[in-house]
Each structure stands twice: as structure tokens, then as C-alpha cells.
Amino acid sequence: MSHTLLPTRRGPSLGGPSLGGPSLGGPRAGGGGQRVALDADAVRDAYRRWAGVYDASFGGVSTIGRRRAVMLANRLPGSRVLEMGVGTGLALPRYLPEKRITGIDLSAEMLAQARKRVAQLGLRNVEALHEMDAEATDFADASFDIAVAMFVASVVPNPPLLLAEMRRVVRPGGAILFVNHFAAKAGPRWWVERAMAPASRALGWHPDFSMDELLGPTDRAQAEAMAVPPFGIFTLVRLAN
């Protein structure tokens, strides 16, 4: 597919891909002070650096999470899929041909890699890739049957707004899927995540992101959550819209 079939909408999106990490502000997982802020420029700068090496650096460890999210999306009814934080397009070849995919991301550099992948693999079911704000998209209400956010919730400044936007653009009865790293409650991993937290701006994501920052009590009670290898460090979450 040529790049001309993949138009770009420009906007100050904060929906770039990550391997886990929370929003701007808010309490840190497990308590303990103010989180290092990630603004749009910090995220753009981080993924400008990562774009050329993202697949080699993070593609392997995130493969199972992406694969399971797409497998679930493929099984769900409806053909219109929105992938928020599409990044370099690692997941795009895994969708069934009958799924019609729209992807959005903050990083122009990451999207350039995604467009190359689409063109090289001839992914005709990828209808558009947009540079767009994941918390305030240009799409009409109920435009999609499924919205998927893979390693995105920990990058946006306000995860509840991300969820609200996904609910808005997905039709009633559709599905909302997340794959993300969520901080441990205790133990060695908790200490590692806390130690990494000051590097959030350089990483482009927050290692100490809590699920509570994304889902309120009602959503947590209704969500289906499945641990994903390796070592259960990622979680696949499904919500009915």
C-alpha cells in the first residue's frame, strides 16, 4: 500500500507507544511523592530517539502482549478497529484481513516506520495512520467496533481521558482492549520500578504506573484482566463498552 493511502492528521497527541508507565501527575504506585512529568515534547523527543531501534529494543519483550491483544480483537465481532499508539506498526500484520484498521500515534517518526511496514507487507486492511491526540481524537462518536491501546496508557497525561475517548469512539456494545505494564504492589519488581521512575522523561514512559490510574472502581470490577508473559509483567485488559 502506498503512503498516499495513509493520510496524516497532525495534532499534539500524547498517545505514543511505550512498554508501560503512567500519566502526568497523580500519586505514584505505592505512594511516595510526585511523579516525573511527561509532556508532549518529552514524549516526542523520546520516541524520536527510539523510532529507529524500537523494534529491536522492545519488539521481542512485547511480542506476546501484542499478539494476544490482536488475537482477542480478531475474535471479537465487528470489523472497524482503532489502534491507539500504533507506533512502528508491530501489531498490524497480525490482524485478520477482514479487520479494517485505523492507527493513531503521537510520533511522526514512529508512524513513518509503520507506513514502511504497511507498504512492504502490502497490508491493504490498514486504512489510515494518523498523527493524532489519543485523548481528543477527530473521530465521530461510535466510529469503531473495537479500540486497542497497546503500551499506551502509561504515556498519556490523563489515562481516564484516554479511556473516556475510547468509550466515545467505540460503538455501544463494542470492546476496549489494553495491554500495559502495571506496577507491582510490593516485592523486588516494585523496588526496580521505583528506582527507574526518575528516568521517565528519557524513557518516554513511567515504570511505576498503577492500574488504578486508568480504571476506576466500577471499571476494575467489570474488567477482564489476564496476565501476559514474560513473567506476567504485562496485563491484557478487556472492557465492554
Residue 95 clears pLDDT 60, i.e. is over it = yes
**Which residues have C-beta within 8 Å of that of residue 69, sequence separation ≥ 6?**
91, 148, 150, 177, 179, 236
Q: Give percent above pLDDT 90 in the chain.
A: 48
Domain that residue 232 falls in: 3-240
CATH of the domain at 87: 3.40.50.150
- Report the pLDDT value the prediction gives residue 230, as an integer from 0 to 100: 72
Residue 171 clears pLDDT 50, i.e. is over it = yes
**30 vs 54, which has greater pLDDT?**
54
- Report the pLDDT value the prediction gives residue 180, as an integer from 0 to 100: 87
8-19 residue pLDDT tens = 333 333 333 333
Residue 7 clears pLDDT 80, i.e. is over it = no
Total domains in the fold of the chain: 1
Residue 155 clears pLDDT 90, i.e. is over it = no
Contact 131, 105 (CB under 8 A): yes
